[in-house]
Amino acid sequence: MNQFKFPKDFLWGGATAANQMEGGFYEGNKGLNIADVLPGGKERLNILQSPGFNFEIDRSKYNYPNHEGIDFYHRYKEDIALFAEMGFKVFRMSIAWTRIFPNGNELEANEDGLAFYDRVFDELHKYGIEPVVTISHYEMPVNLVKQYGGWRNREVVTFFERYVNAIFNRYKNKVKYWMTFNEINSGLIMPIMGLGFSIKEEKDKYQPTFQAFHHQFVASSIAVKACHDIIQNSQIGCMILYAPVYSFDSNPKNVMFALEEERFFNYFCADVQIRGEYPSFINRFFKENNINIEMQDGDLELIKEGTVDYIGFSYYMSRTEKKEKSDLESSQGNLIGGVKNPFLKASDWGWEIDPVGLRISLNQLFDRYQVPLFVVENGLGAYDKVEDDGTINDYYRIDYLREHINAMGEAIQDGVKLMGYTSWGCIDLVSASSGEFSKRYGFIYVDKHDDGSGTLERKKKKSFFWYKDVIASNGEKL
Ligand code: BGP
C-alpha cells in the first residue's frame, strides 16, 4: 500500500513513438523518416556517435528494425484492447510526420496517413482512452534532411507549420493533449535524431546546433498558438529529457560545474519554451563560442507568445559530474555521461537507476517554472525471459516502477502539480538509441528478436497485472 494519494483525475497510461512500433514503413504512401534509415544494434550507436552518415538504406549490409517495428500499423486494435484492459486513461503516441507529408514539403496532406490516425484515435476513444500526441518524435522526413539540411534551414519551419495545421484541423475533436518536440534537448547529444544532421561533421558544431534549436523554438511557438486557436480546451506541452545533475563531492569547482551542466542540458530549451525567452546564462556561452543566431523580425515576440501549457519530460537516470575526470571514472553507458555514482546501481545498459532523482527532478522543475508537470517517459529497459510455461516474471521491472511511482507520490506531497504518468514502451518496441528488440520496457511482451525473427505474438507479463492494480487503485496499491 502506498501512503500517498494521487489526484482523482491523474492521467495513468503508457508511452510509445510511431517509428519504434508502427512498422508499415512504406504503407499508406508514407515517406522515409530518419528512424527508417538507422540500422539496428551496434551500428546504430556508432552512427549516432560518428560523422559522415548519409541517411541512406543499405539492406545488403544492415538490418532495419524500425521497418516492421512491432506492426502496430496492422495490430493497433489488439494492442489498444490490451491497454484498455490495464485501465489506461491516456495513451502517449506520436504521429509520423512522413505519413502526413511523405517528403515534408508537399502542399497537400496525404489522406491515407490522416485516415490511419483517425482509426487509431477512434479505437482509443471507444475505450475512453485519451491520446497524448507527440508531434515530432525523431521522425523528420529524410527528404528535409537531404534537401534542406534538417532544422538548420529556416524553410523547415514553414513545412512544420503546414504539418501542424493539417493535424490540428483534422483531429481537433479527437485529441486535446499535445507535445511539440520529443526530448528537444537531446539534440545536444544525438543531433541526427533530433535536429536532422550530424554535428560532428561540422567544423564549428555549436553554430548550426543552436541555429537549428532557434528554428525549433519558433516552430514550437507556432504550434502552440495554432493549437490554442484551432482546438478548444487543448493543452500543449514541451518535452524535455531531464536528468538532474549532482556534484560528485562538495568541492565548489565540481558544484559549479554540475550547475553549469544542469543549466546547459536540462534548462536551456525548457527556459525558452516555458518562460518564452532565452535565459541570460546562455549569452556568455554564445559569446565564448562565437555563436550568432540569425533571427527574423518578430521571432522573439513569437517565442514569448507561444509558451507551452505544461512540461512533459522523460526521466530515466540522474547524472553525477566532476570537472576533471579520468576515463576510468566515467559512468560507462549512462546516456548523458558523467562519472559513476557510488550510491546507485545501473541497468544492463548502464543507465543509473535513481528513483529519488525523480522526486528531485519534479521539485526542481516545479520550483523553477510553476507549471503543471507530466512524466511522459520512465521505465526499465531489461532482458526478459519467457519461461517454459509461457509466463514472463519481470519482478525487476515492477520494483523499478514501484519506486519511481512512490517518488512521484512524495513529490505530490511536496506540493508539485503533476498531471500524469505514462510509462515508456508500455508494449515492447524498438529501442531508440540501439535499435534493439532485446531491450524491453513493456507490460506486454512482443515475440520479436534482434535478428528479425519472431511471430509478433503479444503476451502479458507479470507487470501487466501489477500496473492494472496500480491504476485501478489510483496509485494506492503498489
Ligand atoms: C527516450 C526516447 C524514446 C525511448 C526511450 C528509451 O530517449 O524518447 O524514444 O526509446 O528514451 O530509450 P532506448 O530506447 O534507447 O532505451
Q: What domain range includes position 355?
A: 11-472
Closest CA to 103 of 153, 147, 58: 147
pLDDT over 60 at 201, yes or no: no
Q: In whole angstroms, what is the distance from residue 23 CA to residue 192 CA?
A: 20
Question: pLDDT (tens digit, 9 = 90+) per residue, 220-241?
Answer: 999 999 999 999 999 999 999 9
Question: Is the CB of residue 424 below 6 angstroms from any atom belonging to ligand 1?
Answer: yes
Q: Give the rounded percent of residues in the chain with a pLDDT score beyond 90.
A: 90
pLDDT over 70 at 297, yes or no: yes
Nearest atom of ligand 1 to the alpha carbon of 335: 15
Name the packing angle between helices 206-230 and 155-171 (round to 10°). 30
Q: Is residue 117 part of a domain?
A: yes
Residue of the CA atom closest to atom 4 of ligand 1: 432
The H or E element spanning position 194 is helix 191-195
Residue position matching grid coordinates 528488440: 437
Q: Which residues are known catalytic residues?
A: 377
Q: In whole angstroms, what is the distance from residue 353 CA to residue 344 CA?
A: 6
CATH number for the domain including 236? Answer: 3.20.20.80
Question: Is the CB of residue 433 below 6 angstroms from any atom belonging to ligand 1?
Answer: yes
Question: Is the CB of residue 440 below 6 angstroms from any atom belonging to ligand 1?
Answer: no
Question: Is the CB of residue 439 below 6 angstroms from any atom belonging to ligand 1?
Answer: yes
Q: Give the rounded percent of residues in the chain with a pLDDT score beyond 70.
A: 97
Q: pLDDT band for 440, please (50, 70, 90 cuts).
A: very high
ipTM for the whole complex? 0.98
Contact 44, 66 (CB under 8 A): no
Q: Is residue 93 part of a domain?
A: yes
Average pLDDT, the chain: 95
Angle at alpha carbon of residue 189, lines to 347 and 198, rounded to 5°: 130
Residue of the CA atom closest to atom 11 of ligand 1: 432
Q: Is residue 390 part of a domain?
A: yes
Report the length, in residues, of the chain: 478
Q: pLDDT band for 202, please (50, 70, 90 cuts).
A: low
Buried b (16+ CB within 10 A) or exposed e, 212-235: bbbbbbbbbbbbbbbbbebbeebb
Closest CA to 432 of 38, 150, 33, 70: 38
What is the per-residue DSSP string for 391-414? ----HHHHHHHHHHHHHHHHHHHT
Higher-confidence residue: 324 or 398?
A: 398
Q: pLDDT band for 189, please (50, 70, 90 cuts).
A: confident
How many angstroms separate the alpha carbon of residue 294 from the centre of ligand 1? 31
pTM beyond cutoff 0.80: yes
Closest CA to 240 of 400, 365, 88: 365
Residue of the CA atom closest to atom 14 of ligand 1: 431
Residue 374 β-bridge partners: 312, 420
How many angstroms separate the alpha carbon of residue 218 from the centre of ligand 1? 25
pLDDT at 71: 98
pLDDT at 199: 66
Q: Is residue 5 part of a domain?
A: no
Q: In whole angstroms, what is the distance from residue 71 CA to residue 444 CA?
A: 14
Q: Is residue 4 part of a domain?
A: no
Best residue for ligand 1 mutational test, from 314, 374, 438 (most atoms within 8 Å of Cβ): 314
pLDDT at 80: 99
Q: In whole angstroms, what is the distance from residue 395 CA to residue 391 CA?
A: 12
At 467, which amino acid appears? Answer: Y
Give how many domains the chain has, as a whole number.
1
Class of residue 200 by CB neighbours under 10 A (exposed 0-12, middle 13-18, buried 19+): middle
Contact 245, 321 (CB under 8 A): yes
Question: pLDDT (tens digit, 9 = 90+) per residue, 7-38?
Answer: 999 999 999 999 999 999 999 999 999 999 99
How many angstroms separate the alpha carbon of residue 346 from the centre of ligand 1? 16
Q: Is residue 2 part of a domain?
A: no
Q: How far is CA 186 from CA 138, 139, 175, 209, in A?
A: 10, 14, 26, 11
Residue 222 β-bridge partners: none
Q: Is residue 3 part of a domain?
A: no
Q: Is residue 285 part of a domain?
A: yes
